[in-house]
Structure 1
Amino acid sequence: MELRHLRYFCVVAEELNFTCAAERLHMSQPPLSRQIKQLEQEVGAELFERSSRGLRLTPPGVFFQQHALQILEKVEVTIDATRHMARKKRDLFGIGFVPSVFYGQLPMLVRDMRRLDNIELTLSELTTVQQVQALKAGSIDMGFGRLRIDDPDIEQEVLFNETLIAALPTGHPLEGTSPSCEELACYPLILFPAKPRPSLADMVLGIFRRRGLKVDVVQEAHEVQTALSLVASGIGITLVPEQMKRVQRDGISYVYLEDKTISSPVICSRRRGEKPSPLMLEANHILNILIDNRHTKRYP
């Protein structure tokens, strides 16, 4: 299947008339009909219902049209962005991240790098495991996550350890306290992300497991924002990185734990043994300043 087949199909689906579609595509009608028939054979479904009254999309045809249009639009956007980058003579720099690190230093890094004239910055929301694969494939240049991965092609640097705090529904019995893990284990727990694993969810479970505590996992969410919405709904409590305090949401109270050493690492992943490009050197320089600011408490 080629992109032209998708274009042919989308025009026919819009016109619902082979003759009119062929005119728009500047081709004759018989070859167009053959191309659509071949497409249907490759897909394994009839996309059009043919009758004396004309053409009509079948249910599989409607589904295929929706996704074909999305694919063609994505291709067009990618081509335009590539041309724009070539005209501006900008170099591409990709950053992968897990959502829970996007509330501290990472937005500042992105902001400062976007000010550079010679860079086209791309951001990809990826788990740490996915970041490793993307780094090896060359689709990103730097990743930010919380999971240690043992891979000979990837080097990881722990930037700092971030304190974990509890997010509680407003009015919760533990609100205004500094609860112990034993106290937290008495309440339903919300974990994130649900998958893929391992992830921060497994780190949180490990905190309780190492203390011999059993927890009631009432819900697993894919994203931290979903987990907080569940907390606000009174479904349960969850542990989040300290930077999430920046997210002010109705129905949620944040409290520090009794054990202030409970934390999660923020880890930067890069390709191992690769000579740093000028953009990588610039990114490392900005990152070092931001991390130094955090350690010296020049900002929260």
Structure 2
Amino acid sequence: MELRHLRYFVVVAEELNLTRASEKLFIAQPPLTRQIRQLEDEVGAPLFHRHSRGLVLTEAGQYFLDQARQILGRIDAATEDARRIAQHGKTIFGIGFVPSVFYGQLPMMVRRLRRNQNLEIVLEESKTREQVEALKAGRIDIGFGRLRIDDPNVEQEVLSNEPMLAALPASHPLAEGSPSMAELSGVPMLTFPSGPGPNLADLMLGLFHRRGLRVNVVQQVNDVQTALSLVASELGFTLVPEQVQCLHRDGVCYVPLADDDITIPVIASRRRGEPPSAIMRLTNTILDDFFDNRLFGRDP
């Protein structure tokens, strides 16, 4: 099996039409058909159902497509990293992160890693699910997020359970104390878009639903900064991890919650079964220092 077989297969699987795929690959259709047949023979299973109106992936084909994308992604990432290492003579270390984990101590971690003159840090802002895909593709080496993602190729470690705060308009009566979840449920809420699979919106709304409380979501926003701007506009409140209070915003008051155990995890994701490199061991040591001393997200 050659890489071209994988590249051809991915394009055919995405187009589900040999004519369009051959045009996209700039090769004639008969040779492309032969390449796909050869790949199926080598795999030992049909990858497509062939119909008069086009192709449909078999169950084996869908699995093979996921694996082929990961393989090609890692090869592309390795090629790019090799070029950069050749140009700069440095080791590349990719870090994925959701913004809400980068308001506390993680910048300190990056500063400590940057002391290594032979290391180049590449930061990639991405959601937890995107981090998992980036790990499998080799684009990043570690990810920091908030959600648990079940994937056999990625291991996750809960580094901390961070307290949640209510971000309220400074003029709101509840901003003067520690409101309960029941009290907050009566205030218009700003949250984040929901979607397939686990997401931050589900996590936040679940805190209310598990207590039998209903909330009035008046606006969905894509990031914390926008949510805080709308809070300052007195449109409603939102819940934020404790680290976010580092963002001082006029018109916004961060207040602790009266209810116990209202927390959100900080989760590190790494490739499963991969021996840790020297840089990864150093990263793990720095993280241990942060959490052992309860510094993460506190008084940065």
TM-score, L = length of structure 2 = 0.70
Aligned counterpart, 1:214: 214
Q: Distance in 2 between matches of 1:229 and 1:179?
A: 21
The equivalent of 2:13 in structure 1 is none
Change (3 A) 1:196 1:297: closer
- The within-5 A match list for 1:165-244 is 165-192=165-192, 198-244=198-244
- Structure 1 CA distance for aligned equivalents of residues 218 and 297 of structure 2: 36
TM-score (norm 1): 0.70
* Change over 3 Å in CA distance of 1:242–1:148 after alignment to 2: same
2:161 pairs with 1:161:
yes
| TM superposition shift of 1:206 | 0.2
* Equivalent residue, structure 2, for 1:139: 139
Structure 1 contact 192–222 (Cα < 8 Å) conserved = yes
**One-letter code of the match for 1:143?**
G
Amino acid at match of 2:253: S
Deviation per CA, 1:93-135: give whole Å up to 9, x if none. Answer: 0000111111112111111111111111101111111111000
Q: Give the structure 1 partner of residue 246 of structure 2.
A: 246
Instruction: Work out whether 1:126 is the aligned partner of 2:114.
Output: no
Greater Cα shift, 192-201 or 146-155: 192-201
- Aligned-partner SS, 1:285: helix
Q: Quote the offset at 1:88 in angstroms.
A: 3.2
Q: Using the alignment, how far apart are the partners of 1:210 and 1:265 within structure 2?
A: 17
Count of residue pairs brought into register by the alignment: 224
Q: How does 1:1-300 map to 2 (within 5 A)?
A: 85-192=85-192, 198-294=198-294
Distance 1:288 1:254 in 2: 28
Q: CA deviation at 1:150?
A: 1.2
Q: Percent identity?
A: 58
CA distance in 1, matches of 2:196, 2:106: 22
- SS in structure 1 opposite 2:174? coil
| CA positional deviation for 1:165 | 0.5
Structure 2: gaps of 5 or more residues: 1-22, 25-78
Q: Post-superposition shift, 1:260?
A: 3.4
**TM-aligned CA deviation for residue 82 of structure 1:** 7.3
Structure-1 residue corresponding to 2:42: none
* Structure 1 residue ranges without an equivalent (≥5): 1-40, 43-78
Q: Write the distance in 2 (CA, Å) between the matches of 1:205 and 1:259.
A: 15
Deviation of the 1:297 alpha carbon: 10
**In 2, Cα distance between equivalents of 1:242 and 1:90:** 35
Contact 2:194–2:200 at 8 Å: present in 1 too?
Answer: no
Matched-pair contact (CA < 8 Å) for 1:187–1:216: yes
Residue type of the alignment partner of 2:134: A
Give SS of 1:244's match.
helix
Q: Distance in 2 between matches of 1:298 and 1:207?
A: 23
Superposition RMSD on alpha carbons, in Å? 2.4
Secondary structure class of the residue paired with 1:161: strand
Q: Which residue identity is paired with 2:251? A: G
In structure 2, do the counterparts of structure 1 residues 285 and 166 end up closer, same or farther at CA, with 3 Å as the change threshold?
same
In structure 2, relative to structure 1, the CA distance for the partners of 1:200 and 1:249 (3 Å cut) is: same
**Residue in 2 that maps onto 1:49:** none
Shift of 1:293: 2.1
Q: Secondary structure at the match of 1:243?
A: helix
Give the drift of 1:85.
Answer: 4.0
Provide the rounded CA distance (Å) in 2 between the counterparts of 1:134 and 1:140.
6
1:189-226 Cα deviation digits (max 9, x unpaired): 00025567632221110000001111000001100111
Larger Rg: 1
Q: 1:279 is matched by which residue type in structure 2?
A: I
- Matched to 1:291, the amino acid is F
